[in-house]
Amino acid sequence: MGTRSSVVILSEWDIVAARQLGRNEAREVGFGTVDQARITTAISELARNIYIYAGKGKIEIERISERGSIGIIITASDEGPGIPDVRKVMEDGFSTSGGLGAGVPGVRRLMDDFKLDTVLGEGTIIKATKWIR
Amino acid sequence: MKLRIPILKLKDCLIVSVQWELEDQTALQFQEDLLNKIHETSARGVVIDLTPIDFIDSFIAKVLGDVISMSSLMGAKVVITGIQPAVAITLIELGIRLEDVMTALDLENGLEKLQRELEA
């Protein structure tokens, strides 16, 4: 396990702070410009989901190295209402916020590994990993 | 702190160069400013250049798509220019299709395209 940094999400400005942190970390770790854009975009979507649906939460960014591979794990956690129908939010085009609905399935496509844990009334944790190819 | 995106007038067109990372309020303010400027100047075309922008998330994409539709309601055509390769890749992977949107490689091509559209 490597270094870890985090941003608490409370306002729209924290979404900006989270993606700036992510972009800087991605650049320092050695990701190319396309992967930097993927990571920045994924963080922006996850941070916005926290802001819209939970009101408060945290984005953590951790550098990892495993069997000679280097990567970044983004963890988005909140203690919001949880997701009632996970299968539905994983469908393209589904959104309850009036957005484009690109959020969660989009993040899964941008990243290499994706894991979502949610408990109704307790909150949601999403872990998304990107490896340097 | 509220940054506003400058909107320049050139003949019957407006030129917008987005120079920094868009945050939500700036993007929404821009939407309003552009529509007011179209109204004020009776502009028939708009070029929005995104060359310095290195990522676009679903929110910014929605604001952009909306402002294009809104401009169209007011009779102005919009061309988006300067989308970087990384931005094009992430937008499509994210699942966002900016369909029916006129695009061009850079500002110069965008202005030419707009002129042709307006003359047609």
Q: Which of A66, A59, A67 is nearest to A25 (CA)?
A: A59
ipTM: 0.90
CA distance B84 to chain A (A): 10
- Domains of chain A and any CATH numbers: 4-131 (3.30.565.10)
Q: Does B11 touch chain A (CB under 8 A)?
A: no
Mean pLDDT, consecutive 10-residue stretches, chain B (120 aa), reads 86 94 91 97 97 93 94 97 96 87 96 93
Q: Is residue B109 part of a domain?
A: yes
- The verdict on a CB contact (< 8 Å) between A106 and B93 is yes
Q: pLDDT band at A94, cuts 50/70/90?
A: low
User: HSE on the CB side for B82, CA within 13 Å?
Assistant: 18
Domain CATH number, residue B113: 3.30.750.24
Helix axes A103-110, A33-49, angle to 10 degrees: 150
The reported pLDDT for the residue numbered A87 is 84
Window 19-38 of A, Cβ < 8 Å to B: 19-20, 23, 33-34, 36-38
Q: What is the mean pLDDT of residues A92-107?
A: 66
Q: Is residue B2 part of a domain?
A: no
Give the pairing type, strands A57-66 and A69-78. Answer: antiparallel
Q: Best mutation site among B21, B29, B55, B87 for testing chain A: the one with the most A CBs within 10 Å? A: B55
Domain that holds residue B34: 7-119
The DSSP call for residue A10 is S
CB neighbourhood size of A23 (10 A):
21
Q: How many CB pairs under 8 A join A and B?
A: 81
Q: Is residue B1 part of a domain?
A: no
- DSSP element (H, E) containing B81: strand B77-81
Q: pLDDT band at A90, cuts 50/70/90?
A: confident
Query: How many whole angstroms separate alpha carbon B38 and alpha carbon A81?
Result: 42
Position A101 pLDDT exceeds 60? no
B62 contacts in A (CB within 8 Å)? Answer: 99-100
Domains of chain B: total: 1
| pLDDT tens digit sequence for A9-22 | 999 999 999 999 99
